[in-house]
Structure 1
């Protein structure tokens, strides 16, 4: 379910300290009910299951088209990413976050973990069009348990990036996010035995 921006901005997330120049694109409630200590498992699911390779046909097709366009237009070349075109958000971290857990990693994954705390995880991606953050917060669900909350923050790279973000917006909202959220929920439920008590 899509949430109002205040669901993200009203919380005292650490991401606000380091990503003030990023635009908040979307906030979504994740179908991931759990206990107070389950965020690390959700971050691991995001990283190792690769939600960008969802089994749903429409998002799968859209991702395939996006990666093909990126290859043809040079959007995703090694010089366009984190640590080359843009500095990693890790360079902005205060000492306590820099010295704490970074979060899970998967070789070849498009997103790179920035930091992991008890209730939030941030990962970043960059290419010729934008520098983006996926932020997963772990929030009370109002019924005595917890669930994930995903925010997407973006810094477009000039006019091309702004045009790109505007162009993909309807696809994200109508085809990609709903299918990805269903996939996240399905995988989360499949691993219910690994979660902490609510």
Structure 2
């Protein structure tokens, strides 16, 4: 995603929608992308998570031999979107739209340091403060870390107290309005992966 000549690379955790890796650079290059994804894999292991699949577009940066070799070394599968199918990577596309049109986003940036500072602030807000409707009102960080469970318990406890005080206001059926995040997140479940492409 260009920001006045700059390019934003992001890696998204599919389940939580959290941006788990990002960088702003002057150009698109396989070395930059490979190092970012490798760092993300290492960071996830430190956080008690594991990366099993990297789902991405068919661009030469992400399908380079360098990227494939690195993923093979870490036992990570490469999943490619199908050509000309825009909804094959909907969560990444959605996050990019959110970042691009965020309340802190700018039309232009003075230099790459300025772009990095602003984008860093946006991603911090996106991950830690902006509540997502697709996550039932939790932030990506809350879903990623599992702290949503405590938040859900607190919300439902307050709800119980409220309706105990105002029972006539309780809707029917008597189910809590507060829900956990979706149990599963899928992209094209059961559909074949795109044909492998070969890039230098």
Q: TM exceeds 0.5?
A: no
Q: Which TM-score tier does this pair reach, normalised by the shorter chain?
A: under 0.3
- Please, what TM-score do these two structures have when normalized by structure 1? 0.26
TM-score (norm 2): 0.26
Computing the radius of gyration from Cα coordinates, the structure with the larger value is: 2
Q: Which has the higher contact order (CA 8 A, sep 6+)?
A: 1
